[in-house]
Amino acid sequence: REHGGRSVHDAHVSAQLLTAAEESLLVQLCKTLALRFLPLSHKLLQDKANALLAVHAGDSARQVGKGWSDRFIVRHSGEI
pLDDT digits (tens, 9 = 90+) for 42-73: 999 999 999 999 998 777 789 999 999 999 99
Nearest to 20 by CA among 60, 76, 67: 76
Q: What is the DSSP string of 24-72?
A: HHHHHHHHHHHHTT----HHHHHHHHHHHHHHHHGGG-----TTHHHHH
Give the tens place of pLDDT for each residue, 19-35: 999 999 999 999 999 99
- What's the whole-model pTM score? 0.79
Q: Residue 40: its pLDDT value, please?
A: 94
Nearest-angstrom CA–CA distance, 32 and 40? 10
Q: For residue 9, what pLDDT band results from cuts at 50, 70 and 90? A: very low
